[in-house]
Amino acid sequence: MEIELIQSKIYEIRGIKVMLDFDLAALYEVETKSLNLAVKRNALRFPSDFMFQLTLEEWNQLRFQIETSKRGGRRYLPYAFTEQGLAMLRVKRQK
């Protein structure tokens, strides 16, 4: 991915620069579900200052900014990963 594309996927939420689970999944070429499952399996590596789940209000505001439809396959609110959380991600790419 080009650096500009990656930079466009960095958002400020709660005064912290973060990347969202679905953007990271695309970057790692895995499904969002797989990325979140890997994180849940290693929950001790991801304290609240490494990642957090967006509130409904935060997601609605962000969705408006990034022009994401209400339709789609999301059942859960997205997770946001801080720089420290990104460093802890180790995701196997799907074949």
DSSP bridge partners of 20: 80
Residue with tokens 């973060």: 18
Question: Helices (DSSP H) in the chain: which residue ranges?
Answer: 3-7, 21-28, 32-41, 56-66, 83-88
Sheet bearing 16-20, strands edge to edge: 10-13, 16-20, 79-81, 51-53
Mean pLDDT by 10 residues, the chain (95 residues): 84 95 91 90 87 93 72 77 88 51
Q: Is the pTM of this model over 0.75?
A: yes
Q: How far apart are CA 6 and CA 16, in angstroms?
A: 16
At 49 the pLDDT is 87
Q: Are 28 and 91 in contact (CB under 8 A)?
A: yes
Q: How far apart are CA 13 and CA 57, in angstroms?
A: 11
How far is residue 90 CA from its own chain's centroid? Answer: 14
At 33 the pLDDT is 92
Domain spans of the chain?
3-88
